[in-house]
Chains A and B, each alone.
Chain A
Amino acid sequence: MKQEYNFSRRFFLKTSSALGALAFIPKGVKAFYEEVKNFIVPAKEQIPLKVSINKKSYAIKADTRTTLLDLLREDLNLTGAKKGCDHGQCGACTVHVDGQRVLSCLTLAATLPGKEVTTIEGLANGDQLHPMQEAFIACDGFQCGYCTPGQIMSAVACVKEGHTKSIAEIKEFMSGNLCRCGAYNGIVESIQKVAAQ
Chain B
Amino acid sequence: MRPFLFSKSSAANQALAKKNHSTQFIAGGTNLVDLMKKHIANPESLVDISSALPNKVENTTKGISIGAMMRNSATANDAIILAKFPLVAKAILAGASPQIRNMASAAGNLLQRTRCPYFYDVTTPCNKRQPGSGCSAINGENRMSAVAGYSEQCVAVHPSDLCVALAALDASVVVNDKDGKTQTIAFQDFHRLPGNTPQKDNNLPANALIRAIEIAANPFAKNNAYVKLRDRDSYAFALVSVAAALHLNGDKIVEARLASGGVAHKPWRWLAAEKYLKGKTANIANFEAAANIAIKDLKPLSHNGFKIPMLKGAIETALKQCLDL
Interface residues of A (CB under 8 A from B): 10, 37-38, 41-45, 47, 63-65, 67, 86-88, 91, 94, 100-103, 106-108, 110-111, 154, 157-158, 161, 163, 171-173, 175-177
Taking a contact as CB atoms under 8 Å apart, the answer to whether B100 and A44 are in contact is no
Bound: A27/B98 CA distance, A: 47
Least CB distance from B252 to A in Å reads 35
25 contacts between A and B (CB under 8 A): A37-B42, A42-B44, A43-B3, A44-B3, A45-B6, A63-B3, A64-B5, A87-B37, A91-B99, A100-B102, A101-B98, A103-B30, A103-B100, A107-B29, A107-B33, A107-B103, A108-B33, A108-B46, A111-B8, A111-B26, A111-B48, A111-B50, A154-B98, A161-B98, A176-B235
Taking a contact as CB atoms under 8 Å apart, the answer to whether A102 and B233 are in contact is no
Taking a contact as CB atoms under 8 Å apart, the answer to whether B3 and A102 are in contact is no
Bitwise, B1-39 to A at CB < 8 A (1) or not (0) is 111111010000000000000000010011001101101
CB-based nearest A residue for B4: A64
Bound: A188/B289 CA distance, A: 42
Interface residues of B (CB under 8 A from A): 1-6, 8, 26, 29-30, 33-34, 36-37, 39, 42, 44, 46, 48, 50, 73, 96-100, 102-103, 233-235
Taking a contact as CB atoms under 8 Å apart, the answer to whether B103 and A102 are in contact is yes
Bound: A177/B100 CA distance, A: 11
Least CB distance from B190 to A in Å reads 25
Taking a contact as CB atoms under 8 Å apart, the answer to whether A157 and B98 are in contact is yes
Most central of B5, B100, B102 by chain A CB within 10 Å: B102
CB-based nearest B residue for A93: B99
Taking a contact as CB atoms under 8 Å apart, the answer to whether A64 and B46 are in contact is yes
